[in-house]
Amino acid sequence: MQKLNKRIIGAAVAVATALPMGAAAQTLTSSINTYSPYSMYGLGELATQGNTAMRSMGGVGVAMQSTISVNLLNPAAYANTPQKSFLFDFAVDAGHFRNAQTKYGATTSEVKTAYNSVNFHEIAFQFPIMKGLGFGFSLSPYSNVGYNMYNDDMSSDATGNVGRVRYQYYGEGDVTEVKAGVGWRPFKHLSVGVAMLYYWGDIKRNYNAVPMDVITGSGEYSSTTGIDTYDVSKIKAQFGLQWIAIMNSKRALTFGATYDIGGALKPGMVKYVYVDNMLTSVVRDEVDKALPLRLPRQVAAGVFYQTQRIRAGFDWVYQNWGDENANYLESGSKGVKVAYNNTHTVKAGFEITPRPIDVRNYLNRMSYRLGFRYGDYYQTFAGSKIAQYAVTAGIGFPVKLFGRSSIDVGFEFGMRDPKMKTVTIDNKRVGLVKQNYYKLSLGLSMFGEDRWFTRYKFE
């Protein structure tokens, strides 16, 4: 029994993304926001910020100024909320995730899994406080955890003494970002803003060792389960500015930038291991502070151009995960080594509305969007970086003629592709996981002057 317990604790740090995923080829739809072996460590997979329209344009928006749409990326944009109005946004996401990995052994084979997910993405609103001063609030996912995989131990050590042992690894949870801030326009062409961001959530990671074909004794070996629960709670600040270079009746050109303060996360952590037999016995129970994983300092800059028919933007985002967590390793001395690295992400997007006030043809009043995003994942696995690509598209359906409210539909195809296809772990050749995913978003953007929030009086 003691030997088996040691084996599972050692294997828990050795699996990461290097294990083949042995789940069924297709599972049922779930409320978790992701299904990725790359979410096994840290805060999991980082979510793309922005409302449905912004994410349909690759996620751009640091420099976007709009009087009809919520901006979740830059608090300086809150200053542009029109008087006697109220901007509201709500969205849900559906995702389909497909993972593939080359498995090496006596024979080489490819292991594949797929998963579906549906969940809410954001709720946000903006309203004016006075002329040139606005308030904004948003509730959106910051990171998501979701994975489920197993590995069968067929080594002579296990099979000779116990039989086949299956190691199972599964986890779920998320971290939510709550953001509240103000934007102020002290000069005609300059807006500044500040926001407080609060991160909260729970992440649960489980690992099991289950004897599948016991060959000795009767009831001598039992399944062993370990559960690590992380409780996240952290406040940080964001500063932003936007400067209008060109503004006239035909076009506008805006530049924007934001700076996020980082800081130690230090989530509360509860760890315990128990043995499944006739009764459940807890053999280890600890309440502790996790190692000081730090949120990164973030710098973002962008440019945004718009006319009555078209909008286009480009953003660059830098996060110093590696500098902040240079000495922080998720794994132990065995197995895949998971480290953090600084990331650069570029985003580009385009939107066209053929004829915004066409009274005859509804298709001309619809908005059509395209976008692209590229960068690296914020963690490395066995020294390999993971490239992230995404191509986006979307359509905005105006609710009524001459109105500003809309129903937005967005689509994203993305890929996580390890730059080293094969790595060596514990003197074994292991293929890293390649992931493709598809996301469908449905958003509702309501504009106050469309009389959503007007109380009528009848005489």
One-letter-per-residue 3-state SS of the chain: CHHHHHHHHHHHCCCHHHCCCCCCCCCCCECCCCCCHHHCCCCCEECCCCCHHHHHCCCCCCCCCCCCCCCCCCHHHHHHCCCCCCEEEEEEEEEEEEEEEEECCCCCEEEEEEEEEEEEEEEEEEEEEECCEEEEEEEEEEEEEEEEEEEEECCHHHHHHCCCEEEEEEEEEEEEEEEEEEEEEEECCEEEEEEEEEEEEEEEEEEEEEECCCCCCCCCCCEEEEEEEEEEEEEEEEEEEEEEEEECCCEEEEEEEEEECCEECCCEEEEEEEEECCCEEEEEEEEEECCCCEECCEEEEEEEEEECCEEEEEEEEEECHHHHCCCCCCCCCCCCCEEECCEEEEEEEEEECCCCCCCCCHHHHCEEEEEEEEEECCEEECCECEEEEEEEEEEEEECCCCCCCEEEEEEEEEEEEECCCEEEECCEEEECCEEEEEEEEEEEEEEHHHCCCCCCCCC
pTM: 0.86
Tokens standing for residue 136: 């904004």
Dihedral pair phi/psi, residue 7, rounded to 5°: -65, -40
Q: What is the Cβ-side half-sphere exposure of residue 261, based on CA atoms within 13 angstroms?
A: 13
Q: Which residues of the chain have pLDDT under 50?
A: 1-28, 278-279, 333, 452-453
User: How far is CA 141 from its chain centroid?
Assistant: 7
Report, in angstroms and rounded to the nearest whole number, the Rg of the chain calculated over CA atoms. 25
Work out whether the CA dihedral 219, 221, 223, 224 comes out positive or negative.
positive
Residue 427, judged by CB atoms within 10 A of its CB (0-12, 13-18, 19+), counts as exposed
Whole-number Å distance between alpha carbons of 55 and 369: 10
CB atoms within 10 A of CB 150: 18
| pLDDT score recorded for residue 5 | 39
Domains of the chain: 2-450 (2.40.160.60)
- The dihedral over CA atoms of 306, 307, 310, 312, expressed in degrees to the nearest 10, equals -10
Tokens standing for residue 151: 């590995």
| pLDDT score recorded for residue 313 | 97
Residue 402, judged by CB atoms within 10 A of its CB (0-12, 13-18, 19+), counts as exposed
| pLDDT score recorded for residue 241 | 97
Beta partners for residue 92, in sequence order = 120, 442
Beta partners for residue 119, in sequence order = 93
Whole-number Å distance between alpha carbons of 297 and 97: 30
| pLDDT score recorded for residue 166 | 79
| pLDDT score recorded for residue 70 | 92
Q: How far is CA 235 from CA 260, 264, 444, in A?
A: 11, 10, 28
First to last CA, the chain: 83
CB atoms within 10 A of CB 137: 16
CB atoms within 10 A of CB 431: 21
| pLDDT score recorded for residue 426 | 74
In contact, 57 and 371? CB cutoff 8 Å: yes
Cβ neighbours of residue 327 under 8 Å, at least 6 residues apart?
A: none
